[in-house]
Structure 1
Amino acid sequence: MNIIFLIKPKCDTAFLYTDDSIRQGLEKIHYHKYTAIPVIDHEGIYHGTITEGDFLWHILGRDVQGASLSCDIRTTEHELVTNLLRPMFNPPVNIYATMDDLLQRVMDQNFVPVVDDRGVFVGIITRKDVIGYFVGLNKPVDPAE
């Protein structure tokens, strides 16, 4: 079964650009009440996902592994969100992925980014939508309907 019917398209998804500042990222993630947000470049290529924890650890002066960094909250106006991206965190699935592939991914992630064959971000699929699909698929059929 094709996953395309579950995609929340890019036009309906909040995302950051690689050249957005950390402050812009914080404002957008706060405005949309997200815990994580995709990052793309201006050509639409998916680069990764940043979490609110990534922002927090950076502002507290630590990277994700706990190493000390020098951070002044005022510098977030000029630092780019790409500096916070973690390699291989929340990798995307191809638009032709199977439902089984998707199920494996949402067990570990709130959403799965979806890209086309060129790596261009086309949208996300949320854990809620995948669970809803499988719950609906396994519902008993009422013979009276």
Structure 2
Amino acid sequence: MNIAFFLIPKKEVVYLNIKATMRQALERMEYHRYSAVPLLDDERKYVTTLTEGDLLWMMKNTPDLHFYNTETIRLSELNYHRKNEPIPIHAEMEHIISRAMEQNFVPVTDDQGTFIGIIRRREIIEYCANQLFAVKRN
């Protein structure tokens, strides 16, 4: 099965530039109620995924860092605790399933490595459930 069928295109995905500030990330993630968002560079290449945990660890490990001065910290300065590797658009479904076990979404890139969207765990589970139910019906 072609994974492009499951792709949520970049224009429908909340993401941030790696040069954004912690405050921008906190506010956007709160507004959309997301616990993780993709980070892109200026060329729209996928860099990593920012999680609430990354933000919390930075707050915990940075003396005198409070919400009001998070606008001084760039996302590029954070330590990221999980590596959410992207998959190419031509990847096989089995590859996505193994990635989705570890993360809420799988970032997808084109042949040039440009971020083109995500595949959510929800759609992957629905696909697997439909396959399982189809086998049981036969």
Q: Same fold by TM (over 0.5)? A: yes
Give the secondary structure class of the aligned counterpart of 2:133. coil
Q: Which consecutive unaligned segments of at least 5 residues does structure 2 have?
A: none
Structure ranking higher in helix proportion = 2
Query: Counterparts of 2:38 and 2:78 in 1: how far apart (Å)?
Result: 12
Aligned 1:103-142 pairs, distance under 5 A:
103-140=97-134
**Normalization by structure 1: what TM-score?**
0.86
Percent identity between the aligned chains? Answer: 39
Match of 2:72 in 1: 78
Secondary structure in 2 matching 1:119:
coil
* Partner residue in 1 for 2:23: 23
What is the CA distance between 1:138 and its match in structure 2? Answer: 2.5
User: For the Cα contact (< 8 Å) 1:23–1:76, is it kept in 2?
Assistant: yes
Find the aligned partners of 1:45 and 1:2 in 2 and give their Cα distance. Answer: 22
1:65 paired residue number: none
Partner SS state of residue 129, structure 2: helix
> Is 1:57 aligned with 2:57?
yes
Q: Secondary structure at the match of 1:25?
A: helix
Measure the CA separation in 2 of the matches of 1:75 and 1:131.
40
Q: How many Å separate the matches in 2 of 1:21 and 1:3?
A: 33
| CA RMSD, Structure 1 to Structure 2 (Å) | 1.9
